[in-house]
Amino acid sequence: MREFSARAVPARVAAEPFARSPKSMLAAAFLMGALACLTATGMPSAANAQAVAPPSGKPPGATAPAHVTRVESHRPARRKVVRETFTPAARPGPRQVRRIIQLEARRWNISPSGLSRRVACESNYRWYAGNGSYQGVLQFASSTFYRGLRSIRTREVKFSRERTRMVRATKVVHYSDGSVERRRGIKRRQQVVTAFRGTLPRNPTLTHAWTQLRIGSQAIRGLSAVGSSEWSCPA
């Protein structure tokens, strides 16, 4: 039998079992176990991976952007009427008394300056003016006032005021996702008419200014049971 000397065995092979550290052996065992698990479960093929992958350029769950479906344009009317109710003034100030004179004179087609002169002479436009048994803006006695009240043509008071304002148009944009956007448009001129309507009381006090001015207006026109000549102050 042929004998080999110790030098005939390569030094790398002889020393290899003793050169591996415990840490490297543990890592190798862990790697082999992981490969065994992957082999058992099966890795996805390239075709399957391509089918699962989302389309290029669009992230998962992305939807198409909303688009405009309808546009509505709302233009303000050239003329707008607003209706309001009010209570005719019983105790107006001098400036308001002058305003009521203008309204009643226009209502009964008489000269506002004539009625204004009479009121200025009788009470100086003060509803609380008094001279013995004569009271109010037209200095009515109680019997004269209620005589005129019984023959009054109507208790309804109507007048209007006009003003002009600038109003913006509006554009309403509807989108496919149901959302709505409002956009401001150009300004347009609008005429606003405010129509006021009130009623004189059925049983007013003797000094009720608006009622006295109505009876006085109808007296000047010749429509009242009270004659215009019953006042000492001219109209």
- Would you write out the chain's pLDDT as a tens digit for each of its 235 residues? 444 444 444 444 444 444 455 555 666 666 676 556 555 555 555 445 454 445 555 555 556 788 888 888 888 899 999 999 999 999 999 999 999 999 999 999 999 999 999 999 999 999 999 999 999 999 999 999 999 999 999 999 999 999 999 999 898 999 988 898 988 888 999 999 999 999 999 999 999 999 999 999 999 999 999 999 999 999 8
CA distance 209 to 95: 13
- pLDDT computed for residue 30 by the predictor: 63
> What's the rounded Cα separation, in Å, for the pair 17 and 24?
12
d(CA 77, CA 216): 40
Residue 160's nearest CA partner among 192, 138, 112, 134 is 192
Q: Are 117 and 235 in contact (CB under 8 A)?
A: yes
Looking up tokens 């479906």 gives 69
Distance CA(198)–CA(185), nearest Å, equals 38
pLDDT, residue 40, reads 52
- Separation between Cα atoms, residue 134 and residue 217, nearest integer Å: 18
Radius of gyration of the chain (CA): 51
Give the per-residue pLDDT at 25.
63
Distance CA 164, CA 170 (A): 19
For residue 165, the model assigns a pLDDT of 93
